[in-house]
Structure 1
Amino acid sequence: MTSTAHGMIQNFLDLVSYGFIPNGGRIYYERRSQPPFLTLMVESFFKATNDTEFLAALPVLKDEYGFWMQNRSVALDVAGAEHRLNRFHVEAGLPPESYTDDLELAEGLSELREQLWAELKAGAESGWDFSSRWYIDAEGHNDGALKDTRTSQILPVDLNALMCRTERTLASFCRALEQAAARRVEAMEALLWDPERGAWFDYSLLSKSKHLEFYTSNLAPVWAECFSLPEMGERAMQYLKESGALNFPNGVPTSLRESGQQWDYPNAWPPLQHMLIEEAQQLALDLAQRWIRTNWLAYNEYEAMFEKYDVNGDGKPGGGGEYEVQLGFGWTNGVALQLLQQYGAGLTSAGR
């Protein structure tokens, strides 16, 4: 389906005329981005087709990268060295797509309601809308409820891993960005890496500390290949094994906290499974087996694919959040097809 992929990428490139790719094709998304995967889309297409046409889009890719560095980054001083990392951040204003729900959520907050609405939009910009990952309570802890969402006050591991991989990919097209990628690895290891636990963790700008709960995003730098020492990747795989997140036969949960939000336990999402499988080479076949089995059990039961699945359910669709689980979904189908192509010969009908 290279012609389909070509058209989709071209549409995204055209949208960067706004300075970035909006969160959706609607007027009220003009100030809210998608996570910046465009450069990696172009790279994937080029690797699959060897078509150099999109390499002419380098100025557009650099424009999107520049938007994130100019509008979605913060600088922090650590031990006398300045480090710059990225975050999700959107201007205030009630999110129109969930107008009634968010109006009710902010009831009684008076002057803080505009802040909450901005933070909810930043959560939507992240793609993880919504998750306990973005909660910061009054004491500054990674705790609370949806009304405690403070997305813009967190430096996310996965966003910075994505930016690092983007910098390295752009550097392969344009060597001037090599130093930017090296500086980001240094910054991520200064602020996000925990050598004792062996993983990367989101960093709170409010408490000036890491959020140490398990999220699949803690492993994103392994997927992005953004770390300086080989043993860090090995330590991260050990962290994954010790976390308890592999104890589920139907996939790896997004987190281990059951908050009622859809980007938390017990839900497992296709793109996150795909990232983990790319990361965990020694565990890849087992993780692929679990995920394809879950997809197959659900398809047999419901004659449909779903956007997310319950890791406890042997094919049960996921839940939580502000809407009913969605049928179909491109990322579910795409991940399943790629895993079948890559691991199909080793998969069994018996399950694990």
Structure 2
Amino acid sequence: MKLGYVLPALLIAAAPAPKSPAQLFGPLYHAVEMRGIFPDSKTFADAVPKRTAAAILADYARCRCDDDTALRQFVRVNFDLPGTPAPPPSSERLPLKAHIDARWPQLTRATPRVPAGSSAISLPRRYVVPGGRFREMYYWDSYFTMLGLARSGRQDLVEEMVVDFGSLIDRYGRIPNGTRTYYLSRSQPPVFYLIAGLSRDARTLAVRNRQLRAEHDFWMAGADTLKPGQQRARVMRLADGALLNRYWDDRDGPRDESYREDVELADRTPGRDRRQLFRELRAAAESGWDFSSRWFGDGRSLATIRTTRFAPIDLNSVMVGMEQAIAANCATLGDRACAASYRAKADARIVAIRAHLWTGRFFADYDIDTGNPSGFVSAAMAFPLFAGIATDDQARATAAALVPLVGEGGMRTTLIGSGQQWDDPNGWAPLQWIAVAGLRRYRETALADRITTAWLGSVEREYEASGKLLEKYDVVERRAGGGGEYPNQDGFGWTNGVTRALMAP
């Protein structure tokens, strides 16, 4: 199979984003979601219309759909609903490593074409989905999934997914949160430099580097015109002129996939501007930490979320990694001016991070409104170690600061039990990998080994109990995790990937 993705010859600018289901179906979408026709808001977001939106809306205007039964029937007549994911075939329980290796084909999809009107986005090659309600390819999830694919000997899928991600940049100028139209207004932590780095096809380096530079342009859009103290979209200029990034979303309405939850929260919070609240929720979804007390004004309540008022330590760490990767690629390709430019960008960002995001004991998010690092203790403090930003002294201090997060089952996300899924007592596969890799980079091997052993123990324990690998784990009680907007999902892409990568070959 030929893996190359050919950029359309006349492509000059990114294509306009297609409308999301909520934008297409307006009043019908609002009614279906707010009346709870489906328990999971994502169900209707992923439904495929059988006719044009105009025809369906015209019939809806004439529909006597005042009761839920009539509305449910109208939806079923006019839409194909997503099916329930089939459970993996029953068989004799395999050892964990063999189970993961055997699970990849069950999570592999191909959508070179999608039905008209679908929220799905086509991809040129095969890809791996997380599992459960997550039926599409996701951005930062996929890097951690691909680590396991590579360890399982599935380099073919790794190369195909690199092509898929590059195709999204070529079409939209960004990699969306996931391959649905309703995700196109936001991205996720920009780890394409890590994804592209998994490719073994040296012939595609120039293409991948062009795509990386386009992604960098997306994250830095508007930076050139910013004055000290200003922010625009995903970029901010501090009072001393330093440039940093933040999470954002180009839309400010309820998320299609969590429409009811967002509207109900806004209804319960009359003192906040609804549009701003929706933007803050969406920005947290771009962060991948949806949701966490890390973003809350009062440290406890989702109603006080203020994601866009931080320059996050994880985001700015991976931005350094992206800039350094582009510089290295440019040097390999013989473009000295490009290499020098991006090296300077990375060096300036490192200076800014050390100056503004270091508390004296660990790295934390920079609070735009206070002009200081937040001091919030979370697993995100490991990202500067992963990216090689910390000095040796900072790395030792960070390792000590991470210790309270580490329990018998792995590393907790925060020390706050807010009931949100990116808070205590939950541990997540990607954060285990970032911490372990970062600690090992600075020779903090004892703590790295402790986290590895504890995490693998949690995954193994649950697998023996249920036969499943889960999206998240309670690493305090060493059981399935909880909290958040939806039930814990099994499958599960990044848990499979990180677990397989941490296991001995």
- TM > 0.5 fold call: yes
1:134 to 295, 302, 314: 295
- 8 Å CA contact 1:164–1:181 kept in 2: the answer is yes
Residue 168 of structure 2 is aligned to residue 15 of structure 1: yes
The alpha-carbon deviation at position 204 of structure 1 amounts to 1.3
Residues 249-328 of structure 1: pairs in structure 2 closer than 5 A: 249-281=408-440, 282=445, 283-314=447-478, 316-328=479-491
Amino acid at match of 1:136: G
1:89 to 219, 230, 248: 248
Aligned to 1:345: none
SS at match of 1:85: strand
* More relative contact order, 1 or 2 (CA 8 Å, 6+ apart): 2
- 8 Å CA contact 2:158–2:198 kept in 1: the answer is no
SS at match of 2:432: helix
Aligned to 1:140: none
Amino acid at match of 1:270: A
Residue 217 of structure 2 is aligned to residue 66 of structure 1: yes
- 8 Å CA contact 2:297–2:306 kept in 1: the answer is yes
Gaps (5+ residues) in structure 2? 1-153, 222-232, 331-338
**Equivalents in 2 of 1:60, 1:220: separation in Å?**
23
- 8 Å CA contact 1:164–1:185 kept in 2: the answer is yes
Residues 67-216 of structure 1: pairs in structure 2 closer than 5 A: 67-70=218-221, 71-77=233-239, 81-90=240-249, 91-107=251-267, 108-109=269-270, 112-137=273-298, 143-174=299-330, 175=339, 176-195=341-360, 197=361, 199-216=362-379
- 8 Å CA contact 2:212–2:322 kept in 1: the answer is no
SS at match of 1:341: coil
- 8 Å CA contact 2:382–2:435 kept in 1: the answer is yes
Per-residue CA deviations over 1:82-127 (Å, capped at 9, x if unaligned) read 1110000113111111111111100152761111011101010110
Amino acid at match of 1:192: L
RMSD: 1.5
Distance 1:14 1:50, change over 3 A: closer
Amino acid at match of 1:133: R
Residue 400 of structure 2 is aligned to residue 235 of structure 1: no
When normalised by structure 1's length, the TM-score is 0.89
Aligned length: 324
Amino acid at match of 2:166: L
Q: Which runs of 4+ in 1 moved over 6 A?
A: none
Residue 194 of structure 2 is aligned to residue 40 of structure 1: yes
Distance 1:110 1:257, change over 3 A: closer
Percent identity between the aligned chains? Answer: 36
**Equivalents in 2 of 1:298, 1:153: separation in Å?**
38
My pick for the range that moved more, 232-241 or 215-224, is: 232-241
SS at match of 1:82: coil
**Equivalents in 2 of 1:55, 1:329: separation in Å?**
33
SS at match of 2:498: helix
Gaps (5+ residues) in structure 1? 138-142, 343-352
My pick for the range that moved more, 111-120 or 303-312, is: 111-120
Amino acid at match of 1:106: A
Amino acid at match of 2:496: N
Residue 488 of structure 2 is aligned to residue 337 of structure 1: no
When normalised by structure 2's length, the TM-score is 0.62
Per-residue CA deviations over 1:118-139 (Å, capped at 9, x if unaligned) read 11010101100000011114xx
Per-residue CA deviations over 1:183-218 (Å, capped at 9, x if unaligned) read 0001101110122x2x11111112222221210001
Amino acid at match of 2:350: V
- 8 Å CA contact 2:365–2:376 kept in 1: the answer is no
The alpha-carbon deviation at position 303 of structure 1 amounts to 0.5
Per-residue CA deviations over 1:196-247 (Å, capped at 9, x if unaligned) read x2x11111112222221210001210111013x3222122212223xx212x
Larger Rg, first or second structure (1 or 2): 2
The alpha-carbon deviation at position 264 of structure 1 amounts to 0.4
The alpha-carbon deviation at position 156 of structure 1 amounts to 0.5
Distance 1:333 1:135, change over 3 A: same
Residue 177 of structure 2 is aligned to residue 26 of structure 1: no
- 8 Å CA contact 1:165–1:226 kept in 2: the answer is no
**Equivalents in 1 of 2:182, 2:436: separation in Å?**
35
**Equivalents in 2 of 1:50, 1:118: separation in Å?**
39
The alpha-carbon deviation at position 12 of structure 1 amounts to 0.8
SS at match of 1:280: helix
The alpha-carbon deviation at position 32 of structure 1 amounts to 1.1
